[in-house]
Structure 1
């Protein structure tokens, strides 16, 4: 056990270096949720229900994997610190594995589904190696809550840039290369480059970041998980965040379906995605000021209400109403930016408060549980949409085949993209309203 001590504020280079990692996490967090379900149903010909299961099952593995990664990284020692070796392993392995997800051989739909499931499982494993320690870093490199908010504002701004590059760029690459298997393979190479740039950039960019917290490391994983869950602020924040992730996962997966089946314009998907994430770059300083003025919890509730109202209004946008849809999605994006920034700024506060009171280093376990639950929520979202489409009779297709969908299927697309996300986020508000965490001053832990 060693002392927890104050250090000067983090350098601008560390802010930027840490934030760079979010370009990679945004790419992997966005593109599978946006395109993988559609790739399975409308390119490989996999039935919607099975496709939803394929997207969900590999991410469910993270529920077991991520807490283990967090626990192991808590106990990692060396000149690189406890987190960066794991981040490097994920940054090296994920890009080629992501390409493999979309590089399967021509095969019947069942075999194609198996290929995607296996390679996506491996990719999710590599992603966990990076994401879990990456999220744990802010609680260890600064002991100032305001500094963490600033760090998170940089991260969420980079997250918005990454989502914009991946979410708008990936469909554009698919279109440019033929909208079939070749187009999706070219898209995978493009996204792999973003993954490598962001993840390896964070490994390099945080090389000079201090590790302020070096306290007693908790031993047994299951015991630590139970203790983490007993931390009420963490439990409340995590529950609300996961419910919101469910809604966001459904909305992301619904973008290509909504643009094609409701708006009648497949190219509108790029506009919708740009409208969803573009505002974050502009409004992040505003949300940062809101958090400092009224508190992070109040800021999160305000952002969530804005998301809910704008997403619900999308349900009445008429067919071919691309302009109105883009405007409302931009409002959704303003709320979405706050919904990303505030929980990420609150999580390090929860971790630091736990360490100050317990003297145990559990940052990796906390973030392992957090990322596992977030990943599961984002994975269940496309699965829910796939199930909804299957119940409504959505007809899958292969290649350039055009299938006229029934009115019920089109309605399911509309509801899945608008009302379902709005209801999930609305349901999270009573949970998040119960979040309480008083500021915990920096404490000296006896050596």
Structure 2
């Protein structure tokens, strides 16, 4: 894949109603992505007496299944022929299954230790499968709605505003519900949270299904009928996709570690478990406020350079948060605001660049493989996000973190408190800096800025 995207001949404008309808689906993607990442590890270690290392494995293990099911869902959606289009039937299937599975994850059965880990792991695997039915086709849709390089960013800006709002509501509301029946929550409060979030998921997924009924399709190339292995080979040969996936994985890993560490950071570094809510608010508010800025920067300096700016902002905020024990909770919140500004840009540009890669592939090959691309992307993204919890669990175990049940609270050793601080700040900062270096290898650029006729595979 080369460094040029040739200008599209005709770029249909996506109606505002469709933008809104598509965007509301992000209440599902953001909620399912944030709530388990924020609360699941803490729920298992502090309420179900699951050792930290085992809890990390439980969060990670079901995601291995994603490596198979997500590409399959993508392939199935590519080949789906219906009056609803190739993607929307799958959105409906996800809406009918994910809310139930999500509730069961936090249902809090009378189990502890290994039995509790097995129960949560099975339910989380079912939830991950149901999520794939919705998420993979959902992410494939923007590349098929418009051929225009910058309109994709504009379209996804609407989605990211909904992501910010959904993350704020879910990330603030979920911990608030959990803490509503005690400073650190109870099993009953976790069950209540599971019910509320399940309702939000159901409403968002149905809203996106109905809201995208009039979504345009740009040319609608025929589905690739080759075997899944052959399609994987084609994807593997797409250098732009490989580099974009690699740098996105590093960014997602940094975010996942930071999210998993947040309840521990609030409890043991700031000294107030309820600070999880305000820290999360500080992280997501910039996602609603800074999207126009990142859209403008991507047009002014191109998407790759804007990505470097966003990742550098993220790294700066996480590194400076290392000084929280010196300056206190207010300082942590200010640094997280800076981190949130970087996360906003990183997330927007990831999806915009993915849509570019898919559009170039469709225009070059004449085949519809958006589902395969997004299936692989989502599978890898989910696995990496879960791996963040595994890494944090390992860091906590090395630091000597002591697990407990809801009725028993233990005093953590200083080494465990230090491990929490490092997991929240230094580790994500180093990982996100790696993505800055990797971004330099990404080559798809704005056709109005780059003209390279010598490159053969660059047209759209």
- TM-score tier by shorter-chain length is over 0.9
Matches within 5 A, 1:7-156: 8-156=12-160
Report the Cα offset of residue 295 of structure 1. Answer: 0.5
Which of 324, 340, 344 is equivalent to 1:317? 324
Distance 1:303 1:108 in 2: 42
Matches within 5 A, 1:33-432: 33-178=37-182, 179-218=185-224, 219-318=226-325, 321-432=328-439
Q: 1:49-96: per-residue Cα shift (whole Å, max 9, x none)?
A: 000000001112111110111011100011100000011101111001
TM-score scaled by length of structure 2: 0.93
Question: What are structure 2's unaligned runs of at least 5 residues?
Answer: 1-7, 449-457
Report the Cα offset of residue 413 of structure 1. Answer: 0.2
Question: What are structure 1's unaligned runs of at least 5 residues?
Answer: none
Preserved CA contact (<8 Å) 1:5 1:444: no
Report the Cα offset of residue 200 of structure 1. Answer: 1.3
Preserved CA contact (<8 Å) 2:102 2:124: yes
Report the Cα offset of residue 438 of structure 1. Answer: 3.9
After superposition, the Cα gap between the structure-2 partners of 1:390 and 1:444, relative to the gap in structure 1 and judged at 3 Å, is closer
Count of aligned positions: 441
Preserved CA contact (<8 Å) 2:78 2:86: yes
Q: 1:406-432: per-residue Cα shift (whole Å, max 9, x none)?
A: 111011000000011111100111111
Preserved CA contact (<8 Å) 1:264 1:320: no
Match of 2:452 in 1: none
Preserved CA contact (<8 Å) 1:6 1:212: no
Distance 1:69 1:5 in 2: 31
Q: What's the secondary structure of 2:74's corresponding residue? A: helix
Quote the RMSD (CA, aligned, Å): 1.6
After superposition, the Cα gap between the structure-2 partners of 1:346 and 1:21, relative to the gap in structure 1 and judged at 3 Å, is same
Distance 2:173 2:51 in 1: 27
